[in-house]
């Protein structure tokens, strides 16, 4: 079955960006994927490497889809690649359509994949455990964080390990500049959330603000303009006012974890979460307003590239789009099933979106997967 | 006039039913069996998994298995026992859910689903775990039966949602809506908060037992009786947490294998529904009223599943039940006042009723309905006595009545023969047998608030109790025996820096685990700093213990260790001069007083004042007239216990080894028998007999020097009565705290006066230690 969660509002209209011409880029840090036949412990990619150049641009129309005489474009999700080793993919981010990073791994070893506009390849990853989130400032300045306090930086040539000074799990990283990075995390066991600030030289630990939710972890941090927020377990949202972090009200429906957030303006930010069932929260510049979105399952990923469209993902292979202006959340058809868990989504300037996650088969038996979403004309109807 | 017309129509319907109308669509085939039995449609392979799952359900988890370290119960069947494994349980198995209402109005359940765990072993917490101060919402939940769970799992989301009417568009005052779990319609739990049976089992295993599990693999889910694979016909059943549960109790995770979990889930999926009875004339009238006054709007008689019609008498939707029933707990989209319509099939045998068991009868339950059900409730209240009785008769006719009893002993269960566990200690006359059976029924009977259950309400909260029946705690290996850790009594008190013990100021040293629904869990008084587990002692052979002369016990005293053997037992002479001989501290003089003590302190029942008897209470503060148990009932109960036979010896696995162990046990070099005296003489029915209880019934200091504990009357903090060893093979765990999983551990945990004997035991070659344990296992 497919969910349509529809709050009050006018019928939605699609809005698209044009597709940009993709240029292949060479990344010295990339290693060709070996695809070992029985690569136990070695991630083995399968999928459609380079699919994004095939037929690229066909049927993609600039401006608003569905214009007069033009076919309305529809989102199409495809499998970009899968990783057959035990582990998962956690996050995706890029500096450009031809410079996209996907991170993940196992509890022992991180994985990093890169898309150069033509194909995906695996990068040499330092000896750190699973990476959870990736964020950067350009093709030669990318950061990733993960389990056990792992922080690594990519300088355009290779990844380096940075000493974060903590062994607690780090779940999110974001900043306004390479000398103004926030890292958040924490353990699921009792304890305070972790907040680190990196000035490009030193990681400084900040005390987590008091909260009445007994939250133990912050999962993501994100900001725009003067608004910087971090979200975490038990529905915790904290805000940074330039000097200190403090809890802000999230509302009565914020009764479960918030896992991720994104926005386009200071008064246009969305946070998603929930475990058994999804919750969604909007920030209007003044306050957060949270509501349940059942039957949509728990949500864990959000990316907002334009005001009226956030791509969201979560449990049970759920991917969909959310319009903060109309409050509609609509599931999209995707090659996923009930065993898949979307951990991260991101979109490039070319209107392409990615979703990455983990597929459960059994305990200690998981695979990673990456999906890509393009906008295409609907299939030709036979009359 | 309308009423008369209604009745006439009802009568016509009744007549039609009795005389035979065109047959309605029959219920799905192969779904009915006795409660506790598998679906008749089960395959031989499924029957095998059902049997294995039943065994898993009844398996008592020990500390070494990974129990806890904090927990409520030690086995699944603890809460799902009524009237058979897979069912519900009485009030003594109520548990607490807690939450935190934040400043911005959110309700957070927190760790382990907000479940309040009532017992703890080992470091990290006290025996009655601390409830965090940030918890500010509490409610109680009564265990829920699993009968027909597999059939409910098979129901499509669409079938359930076909009756949703969240905005009451049809204007009938009923506005059910579904709850959701991971994208599917929830159907299990008081708030329909769970869709998957696997999840509904794994959650409580961790939350209530502290037993960790891994999720089933896709391959295993595909092999379940209800195909639960993501690609299977019931993909919603795959909507269970994919992560393992983990703890840090030292036992390797997972603490239950996925094979055992598979069998347990299979067991639940295969449990059949009880078949509704053929309606009597009264029942048919009740069915008519049930429909007429609107009960069936929520308690929808039949839902359509893939096998056909399934008579759940529930729409499985959430309904607002009003403020009086609201419990403050929000789960999924369910608000504090919303609850899933409870299936009524089999209700005769699975009381008490409502989410917290506050209603002990269907009548009470109906009258407690509110919110959307207020109109139907009022219509019921407006029925005359015959109408109400007819409706209740209809409800109780919905299967399972033949398995219902006032407790757990199935109707017409024969009394075991003398010499068998649970049987009398000798052949009984007809009159004696009648009294024995009456006493057994009272021992087994679940009491309710309406009967006066619960002690006095005071500054610490409402009426408290540990058990709502005697049987609640005394179940191993049969009724009358010991109890698992999940029915431990927690005693508490204050020990000053200079080692002086003080009991709590307001009440005795018992910190009760249960409280009448509507109250928060009992908390210890401020300043209390000592907590102690107390295992349930077995009650077999109490009449023989009564028959031991005081002089026989006093003759064994050596309070000043005059014989310099390191053992200095002393009799517990009570303030009134009687000799204590029962209880962990020998604080109770005889069986009758033991009955009064337990009825008062453990259950909160008041008794008649009787000459020469000092234990128990004669009055409390509830509105049930005192006494709540009459003298003749108390005498029946005491007679049952006094006549309950001693535990029969068990055949050892290796009789030669056991004989060797018996010799070692008795040998002075080891010294066990210095306190665990093999037999004491008594006079029974005018004849001398040896009572082989393996105890001197004296107090000995067996805790380490300086150890804090709980005093009782004149028994010191470190002093305990020598625990009788008869029947010990069947009454694990061991010691007053239940800290020992095995007999070997129990011996090694002896200290104080028994330290030298413990050392001697530990110095024995392993083969000889095994021999001692082998001997004990024959007791």
The answer to whether the Cβ–Cβ distance between A297 and B100 falls below 8 Å is no
Residues B281 and B260 reside in one and the same domain: no
Asked whether residue B719 is domain-assigned, the answer is: yes
Q: How far is B217 from chain A (nearest CA, A)?
A: 4
Environment class of residue B280 by beta-carbon count within 10 Å: exposed (0-12), middle (13-18) or buried (19+)?
A: middle
**What is the mean predicted confidence (pLDDT) over A59-80?**
64
Contact criterion met (CB below 8 Å) for A159 and A152: yes
In a domain, B751, yes or no: yes
The answer to whether residue A8 is domain-embedded is: no
- Nearest CB partner across the interface for B104, out of A251, A298, A363: A251
- Please check whether residue B104 lies inside any domain of the structure: yes
CA distance B255 to chain A (A): 14
Position B421 confidence tier, pLDDT thresholds 50, 70, 90? very high
Contact A249 B231 (CB under 8 A): no
pLDDT score at B233:
79
Instruction: Examine the domain organization and report whether B250 and B130 are in the same domain.
Output: yes
Express each pLDDT in B52-76 by its tens digit. Answer: 999 999 999 999 999 999 999 999 9
User: Are A212 and B100 in contact (CB < 8 Å)?
Assistant: yes
Number of domains, chain B:
3
Q: What is the mean pLDDT of residues B661-676?
A: 95
Mean pLDDT of A215-230: 97
Contact A337 B231 (CB under 8 A): yes
- Diameter of chain A by CA atoms? 66
Contacting A residues, span 216-275, partner chain B, CB-CB under 8 Å:
234-235, 249-255
Contact between A214 and B108 using a beta-carbon 8 Å cutoff: yes
**Burial of B705 from C-beta contacts in 10 A (0-12 / 13-18 / 19+):** exposed
The yes-or-no verdict on residue B615 having pLDDT over 70 is yes
Same domain, B201 and B321: no
- Residue recorded with tokens 């009758």: B592
Confidence of residue A376 (pLDDT cuts 50, 70, 90): confident
- The nearest CA of chain B is from the CA of A8 a distance in Å of 15
B277, B281, B275: which is closest to B19 by C-alpha?
B281
Residue B415: closest CA among B405, B406, B404, B428 = B428
* ipTM for the whole complex: 0.88
CA nearest to B2, candidates B421, B466, B467, B382: B382
Residue A151 covered by a domain = yes
The per-residue pLDDT for range B519-559, each reduced to its tens digit, is 999 989 999 999 999 999 999 999 999 999 999 999 999 99
**pLDDT grade for B240, boundaries at 50, 70 and 90:** confident
Q: Is A68 exposed, middle or buried (0-12, 13-18, 19+ CB in 10 A)?
A: exposed
Mean pLDDT of chain B: 94
Regarding whether B261 and B286 lie in a shared domain, the answer is no
Identify all chain B residues contacting A188, using CB atoms and an 8 Å cutoff.
Answer: none
Instruction: Answer yes or no: do B18 and B72 share one domain.
Output: no
The predicted pLDDT at position A312 comes to 98
Number of domains comprising chain A:
1
Q: Are B462 and B680 in contact (CB under 8 A)?
A: no
CB B457 within 8 A of CB B512: no
- From B220, B239, B270, the end of a domain falls on B270
**Span B488-509, pLDDT tens digits:** 999 999 999 999 999 998 778 9
B88 and B221 inside one domain? yes
- CATH number at B353 reads 1.10.760.10
Measuring CA to CA, which residue among B298, B171, B148 is closest to residue B225?
B148
A296 touches chain B (CB under 8 A): yes
Q: Which of A214, A249, A298 sits opposite B100 (nearest CB)?
A: A214
Query: Tokens standing for B117?
Result: 């765990």
User: What pLDDT band is residue A370 in, cutting at 50, 70 and 90?
Assistant: very high
Tokens at B306, concatenated: 């893939």
Last residue of a domain, one of B214, B245, B270: B270
Buried b (16+ CB within 10 A) or exposed e, B445-461: bbbbbebbbbbbbeebb
Domain region containing B50? 44-144+188-270
Q: For residue range B247-286, what is the model confidence (pLDDT) as tens digits?
A: 989 999 999 999 999 999 999 999 999 999 999 999 999 9
Residues of chain B contacting residue A234, judged by C-beta atoms under 8 Å apart:
108, 110
B193 lies in the same domain as B339: no
Instruction: Tell me what the pLDDT averaged over chain A comes to.
Output: 85
Inside any domain, residue B610: no
Last residue of a domain, one of B402, B434, B450: B402
B343 and B217: one domain? no
Nearest to B646 by CA among B470, B413, B480: B480
Q: Are residues B311 and B396 in the same domain?
A: yes
Q: Is the pLDDT of residue A28 over 60?
A: no
When comparing pLDDT for B384 and B242, which is higher?
B384
A315: closest CA of chain B, how far (Å):
7
Q: What is the pLDDT of residue B519?
A: 92
The two structure tokens encoding residue A120: 């995906």
Lowest average pLDDT, out of A57-71, A345-359, B184-198, B764-778, goes to A57-71
Q: How far apart are the CA of B353 and the nearest CA of chain A, in angstroms?
A: 28
Asked if A314 has any chain B CB less than 8 Å from its own CB, the reply is no
Q: List the single residue in A with minimal CA-CA distance to B180.
A: A295
Is the residue at A1 inside a domain? no
In the prediction, which pLDDT does A332 show? 97
Closest to B470 (Cα-Cα) out of B46, B90, B10: B90
Which of A8, A235, A239, A255 to mutate to probe the B interface, most B CBs <10 Å?
Answer: A255
CA distance A149 to A162: 10
* pLDDT at residue B59 in the model: 97
What element of type H or E holds B437?
helix B430-444
At B231, the pLDDT band (50, 70, 90 cuts) reads confident
Grouping H, G, I as helix, E, B as strand and the rest as coil, residue A275 is: coil
- Residue with structure tokens 């979106």? A353
Q: Which of B313, B156, B169, B334 is nearest to B237 (CA)?
A: B156
Q: Verify whether the Cβ–Cβ distance B238 to A338 is below 8 Å.
A: yes
Considering only CA atoms, which of A290, A311, A317, A307 is closest in space to residue A354? A311
Q: Which of residues 133-152 of A touch B (CB under 8 A)?
A: none
- Range name among A3-7, B129-133, B632-636, B769-773 with the lowest pLDDT average: A3-7
CA diameter of chain B: 93
In A, which residues are within 8 Å of B235 by CB distance? 338
Q: Determine how β-strand B699-701 pairs with β-strand B719-721.
A: antiparallel
In terms of domains, do B139 and B74 share one? yes
Residue for token pair 């303009």: A225
CA distance B118 to chain A (A): 19
Instruction: Tell me the CATH number at A278.
Output: 2.130.10.10
**Domain region containing A220:** 21-57+79-376
A3: confidence class by pLDDT, cuts 50, 70, 90:
very low
Residue A117: inside a domain: yes
Q: With beta carbons under 8 A apart, name residues in chain A contacting B239.
A: 297, 316, 338
Is the separation of the CB atoms in A162 and A154 below 8 Å?
Answer: no
A298 in contact with B, Cβ within 8 Å: yes
Residues 6+ apart with CB under 8 A from A76: A373, A374, A375, A376
Q: Compare CB distances from B244 to A212, A337, A363 and report the shortest one's residue.
A: A363
Q: How many contacts does A have with B, using Cβ atoms within 8 A?
A: 102
- Residue B534 maps to a domain: no
CB-CB neighbours of A13 under 10 Å: 12
- Asked if residue A16 is part of any domain, the answer here is no
Cβ contact A299:A274 at 8 Å:
yes
Contact B181 A277 (CB under 8 A): yes
Both B288 and B330 in one domain: the answer is: yes
pLDDT of residue B239: 87
Same domain, B130 and B252: yes
Establish if A289 touches chain B: CB-CB under 8 angstroms: no
Phi/psi of residue B202, nearest 5 degrees? -65, -35
Three-class secondary structure of residue B6 per DSSP: helix
**A155 occurs within a structural domain:** yes
């Amino acid at each position: 079955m497919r969910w349509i969660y529809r709050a009050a509002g006018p019928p939605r209209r699609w809005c698209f960006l044009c597709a940009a011409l993709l240029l292949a880029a060479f990344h010295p840090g990339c290693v060709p994927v070996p695809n070992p036949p029985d690569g136990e412990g070695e991630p083995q990619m399968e999928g459609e490497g380079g699919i994004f150049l095939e037929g690229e641009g066909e049927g993609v129309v600039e401006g608003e889809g569905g214009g007069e005489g033009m076919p309305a474009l529809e989102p199409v999700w495809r499998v970009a690649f899968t990783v057959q080793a035990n582990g998962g993919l956690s996050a995706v981010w890029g500096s450009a359509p031809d410079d996209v990073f996907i991170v993940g791994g196992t509890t022992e070893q991180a994985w990093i994949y890169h898309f150069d506009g033509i194909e995906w390849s695996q990068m040499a990853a330092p000896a750190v455990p699973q990476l959870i989130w990736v964020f950067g400032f350009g093709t030669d300045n990318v950061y990733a964080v993960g389990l056990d306090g792992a922080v690594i930086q990519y300088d355009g040539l290779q990844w380096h390990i940075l000493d974060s000074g903590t062994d607690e799990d780090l779940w999110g990283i974001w900043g306004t500049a390479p000398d103004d990075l926030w890292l958040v995390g924490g353990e699921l066991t009792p304890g305070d959330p972790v907040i680190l600030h990196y000035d490009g030289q030193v990681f400084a630990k900040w005390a987590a603000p008091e909260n009445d939710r007994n939250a133990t972890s912050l999962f993501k941090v994100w900001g725009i303009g003067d608004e910087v927020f971090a979200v975490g377990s038990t529905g915790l949202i904290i805000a940074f006012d330039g000097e200190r972090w403090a809890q802000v009200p999230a509302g009565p429906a914020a009764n479960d974890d918030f896992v991720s957030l994104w926005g386009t303006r200071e008064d246009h930010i969305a946070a998603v979460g929930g475990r058994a069932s999804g919750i969604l929260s909007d920030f209007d510049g003044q306050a957060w307003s949270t509501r349940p979105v059942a039957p949509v399952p728990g949500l864990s990923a959000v990316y907002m590239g334009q005001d009226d469209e956030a791509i969201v993902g979560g449990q049970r292979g759920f991917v969909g789009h959310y319009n903060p202006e109309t409050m509609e959340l609509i599931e999209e058809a995707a090659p996923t099933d009930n065993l898949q868990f979307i951990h991260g989504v991101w979109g490039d300037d070319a209107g392409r979106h990615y979703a990455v996650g983990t597929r459960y088969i059994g305990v200690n038996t998981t695979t990673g997967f990456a999906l890509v979403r393009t906008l295409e004309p609907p299939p030709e109807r036979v009359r | 006039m309308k009423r008369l017309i209604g009745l006439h129509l009802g009568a016509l319907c009744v007549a039609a039913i009795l005389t035979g109308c065109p047959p309605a669509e029959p219920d799905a085939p192969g779904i009915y069996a006795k409660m506790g039995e598998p679906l008749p449609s089960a395959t031989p392979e499924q029957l095998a998994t059902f049997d294995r799952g039943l065994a898993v359900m009844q398996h008592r988890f020990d500390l070494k298995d990974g129990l806890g370290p904090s927990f409520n119960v030690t086995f699944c069947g603890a809460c799902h026992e009524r009237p058979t494994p897979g069912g519900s349980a009485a009030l003594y198995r109520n548990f607490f859910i807690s939450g935190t209402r934040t400043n911005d109005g959110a309700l957070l359940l927190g760790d382990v689903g907000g479940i309040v765990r009532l017992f703890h072993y080992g470091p990290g917490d006290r025996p009655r775990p601390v409830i965090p101060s940030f918890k500010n919402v509490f409610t109680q939940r009564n265990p829920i039966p699993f009968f027909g769970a597999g059939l409910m799992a098979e129901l499509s989301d669409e079938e359930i949602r076909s009756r949703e009417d969240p905005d009451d568009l049809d204007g009938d005052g009923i506005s059910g809506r579904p709850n959701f779990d991971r994208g599917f319609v929830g159907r299990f739990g008081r708030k329909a908060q769970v869709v998957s049976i696997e999840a509904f089992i794994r959650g409580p295993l961790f939350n209530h037992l502290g037993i960790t599990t891994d999720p089933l693999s896709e391959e295993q889910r595909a092999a379940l009786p209800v195909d639960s694979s993501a690609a299977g016909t019931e993909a919603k059943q795959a909507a269970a947490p994919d992560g393992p549960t983990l703890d840090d109790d030292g036992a390797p995770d997972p603490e239950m294998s996925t094979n055992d979990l598979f069998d347990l889930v299979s067991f639940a999926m295969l449990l059949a529904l009880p078949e509704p009875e053929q309606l009597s004339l009264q029942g048919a009238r009740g069915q008519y009223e049930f429909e007429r006054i609107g009960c069936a709007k929520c308690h929808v008689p039949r839902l359509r599943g893939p096998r056909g019609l399934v008579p759940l008498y529930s729409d499985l939707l959430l309904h607002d039940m009003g403020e009086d029933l609201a419990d403050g707990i929000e789960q999924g989209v369910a608000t504090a006042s919303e609850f899933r319509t409870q299936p009524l099939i089999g209700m005769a045998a699975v009381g008490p009723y409502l989410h917290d068991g506050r209603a002990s009868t269907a009548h009470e339950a109906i009258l407690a309905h509110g919110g959307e059900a207020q109109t139907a409730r009022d219509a019921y209240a407006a029925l005359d006595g015959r109408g109400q009785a007819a409706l209740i008769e209809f409800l109780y006719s919905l299967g399972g009545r033949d398995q219902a009893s006032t407790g757990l002993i199935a109707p017409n269960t024969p009394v075991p023969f003398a010499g068998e566990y649970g049987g009398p200690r000798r052949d009984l006359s007809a009159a004696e047998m009648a009294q024995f059976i009456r006493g057994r029924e009272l021992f087994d009977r679940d009491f309710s608030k309406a009967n006066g259950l619960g002690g006095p309400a005071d500054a610490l909260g409402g009426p408290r109790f540990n058990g709502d029946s005697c049987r609640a705690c005394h179940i191993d290996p049969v009724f009358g025996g010991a109890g698992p850790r999940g029915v431990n009594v927690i005693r508490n008190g204050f020990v000053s820096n200079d080692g002086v013990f003080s009991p709590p100021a307001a009440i005795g040293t018992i910190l009760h685990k249960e409280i009448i629904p509507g109250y928060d869990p009992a908390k210890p008084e401020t300043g209390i700093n000592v907590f102690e587990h107390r295992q349930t002692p077995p009650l077999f052979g109490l009449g023989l213990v009564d028959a031991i002369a005081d002089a026989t016990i006093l003759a064994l005293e050596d309070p000043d260790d005059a014989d310099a053997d390191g053992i200095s037992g002393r009799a517990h002479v009570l303030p009134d001069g009687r000799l204590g001989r029962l209880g962990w501290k020998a604080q109770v003089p005889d069986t009758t007083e033991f009955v009064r003590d337990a009825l008062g302190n453990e259950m909160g029942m008041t008794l008649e004042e009787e000459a020469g008897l000092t234990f128990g209470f004669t009055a409390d503060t509830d509105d049930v007239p005192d006494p709540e148990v009459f003298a003749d009932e108390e005498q029946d109960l005491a007679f049952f216990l006094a006549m309950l036979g001693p535990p029969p010896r068990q055949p050892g696995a290796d009789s030669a080894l056991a004989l060797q162990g018996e010799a070692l046990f008795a040998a002075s070099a080891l010294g066990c028998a210095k306190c665990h005296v093999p037999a004491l003489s008594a006079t029974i029915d005018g004849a001398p007999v040896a009572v082989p209880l393996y105890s001197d019934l004296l107090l000995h200091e067996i805790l380490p020097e300086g150890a804090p504990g709980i005093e009782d009357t004149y028994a010191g903090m470190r002093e305990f009565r020598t625990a009788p060893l008869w029947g010990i093979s069947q009454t694990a765990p061991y010691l007053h705290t239940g800290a020992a999983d095995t007999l070997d551990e129990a011996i090694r945990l002896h200290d104080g006066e028994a330290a030298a004997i413990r050392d001697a035991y530990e110095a024995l070659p392993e083969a000889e230690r095994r021999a001692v344990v082998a001997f004990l296992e024959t007791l």
